[in-house]
């Protein structure tokens, strides 16, 4: 299958700079056009995954149970769009842990590719940080940087940079329909 790998915090729900860590249920706040974006995305022929760094686990800010409670809550909020998140892939480590799975390492995407037979070249990684773009780049996907986190972010490795997830999904929809963007 072709896949769309979505960062979660800052891409689906509000993350930095408002919430440095989404560490409790009261910090779950969907971004303004997430619902509309996911409605469009649910009509496209892609398997959709969450790829999330959660250093709050390593920092003991949240437990694994709390992480899944928060994640399930987000999945419930977006379920009415028709989107099905096939799996949430998680790195529970902090940068200092020097693990192999933390974005921008490509491991979580490579794991998904193995598990779901994903054609990475025709897949996309979308996120609000340059490290999300680098994750896709390192795994061999196409990439979109969304400016829904820190507004000044840039990445010269991004195939596209968009103001929102909705705009990103519409790009992918156009490309899927064979419309030349140039
Ligand atoms: Mg993010
Ligand atoms: Zn890790």
24-50 burial string, b = 16+ CB within 10 Å, else e?
eeebbeebebbeebbbbbeeeebbbbb
The domains of the chain are located at 3-176
For residue 1 the two structure tokens come to 């299958």
Name the fold adopted by 3-176: Rossmann fold (3.40.50)
What pLDDT, on a 0 to 100 scale, did the predictor assign at position 151? Answer: 87
Q: Does residue 182 carry a pLDDT above 80?
A: no
For residue 10 the two structure tokens come to 């800052």
Separation of CA 53 and ligand 2 centre (Å) = 7
Q: Does residue 177 carry a pLDDT above 90?
A: no
Q: State how far the Cα of 127 lies from the Cα of 25, in Å rounded to an integer.
A: 21
- Catalytic residue, chosen from 9, 111, 119, 128, is 9
**CB-based contacts of 173: which residues, under 8 Å, 6+ apart?**
40, 44
What pLDDT, on a 0 to 100 scale, did the predictor assign at position 122? Answer: 96
pLDDT in tens, 70-105: 999 999 999 999 999 999 999 999 999 999 999 999
Is 9 a residue of the active site? yes
pLDDT in tens, 121-155: 999 999 999 999 999 999 999 999 999 999 899 99
Is 156 a residue of the active site? no
């Amino acid at each position: 299958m072709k896949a769309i790998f979505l960062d979660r915090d800052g891409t689906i729900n509000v993350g930095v700079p408002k919430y440095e860590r989404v560490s409790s249920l009261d910090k779950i706040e969907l971004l303004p056009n997430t619902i509309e974006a996911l409605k469009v995305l649910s009509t496209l022929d892609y398997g959709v995954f969450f790829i999330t760094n959660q250093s709050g686990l390593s920092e003991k800010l949240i437990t694994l149970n709390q992480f899944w409670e928060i994640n399930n809550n987000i999945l419930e909020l977006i379920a009415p769009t028709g989107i099905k998140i096939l799996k949430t892939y998680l790195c529970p480590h902090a940068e200092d842990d020097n693990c192999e799975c933390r974005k921008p390492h490509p491991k979580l995407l490579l794991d998904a590719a193995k598990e779901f037979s994903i054609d990475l070249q025709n897949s996309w990684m979308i996120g609000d940080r340059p490290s999300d773009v680098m994750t896709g780049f390192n795994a061999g996907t196409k990439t979109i940087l969304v400016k829904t986190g820190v507004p000044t972010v840039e990445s010269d490795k991004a195939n596209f940079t968009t103001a929102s997830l909705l705009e990103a999904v519409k790009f992918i929809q156009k490309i899927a329909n064979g419309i030349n963007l140039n």
